[in-house]
Each structure stands twice: as C-alpha cells, then as structure tokens.
Amino acid sequence: MEIRESLGEALRRMRILHDLTQEDFAVVSSRTYVSSLERGLKAPTIQKIEDLAGRIGIHPLSLIVSAYLIQNPDVGLDGLIEQVRKEALEV
C-alpha cells in the first residue's frame, strides 16, 4: 500500500470517528477532492493535511502517524514515536 492510500484511509477513519461527512470539509476542500484523497487517488500538500486535520479537530501529525501505522502496523505506535523522537532530536 502506498502512503497516499494509507493517508486516505487514515483520513476516512478519522472523519468517521469524529462523525463528519465529506461535505463537512467544504470550508477547506470540495467533497470531490476529499473523496479522491480517501480513495488514495491524490496526495495532499502539507498545508492541506493541516487544513483537513484542523477541520477534524486533531493535530496534523495524528493523521500522518495514523497513515504510517495503517501502512505498517507491525511497527506499532511506540516504535514509530520512538523513531521520530530520535530523528527529531538529531536536528
């Protein structure tokens, strides 16, 4: 599964979890665009990820982390967060 597909799945899951419809994103994107993202047909910019996450009411990293966990569930949340923590501290 490519990252754009897992990001689309993460967006769909978060949207449903927060009881939102695709139409509820009209303030940041068209329903057609959200649908294309959820089906993995398009890859959003980092700005669009921030806008979508803001509409859901979550941090953009939550959406991105969820996508990587969907893509590779064996790594687990703790493993992924530890990797990111180590890499971020190197900067």
Query: What is the structure's pLDDT at 91?
Result: 85
- pLDDT tens figures, 15-59: 999 999 999 999 999 999 999 999 999 999 999 999 999 999 999
List, in order, residues 6 or more apart from 45 with CB less than 8 Å away: none
Locate the domains of the chain by residue range. Answer: 3-89
User: What gap in Å lies between CA 18 and CA 12, rounded to an integer?
Assistant: 10
Per CATH, which fold does 3-89 belong to?
434 Repressor (Amino-terminal Domain) (1.10.260)
pTM recorded for the entire structure: 0.90
- pLDDT tens figures, 50-83: 999 999 999 999 999 999 999 999 999 999 999 9
Query: What is the structure's pLDDT at 1?
Result: 81
Q: What is the DSSP letter of 44?
A: -
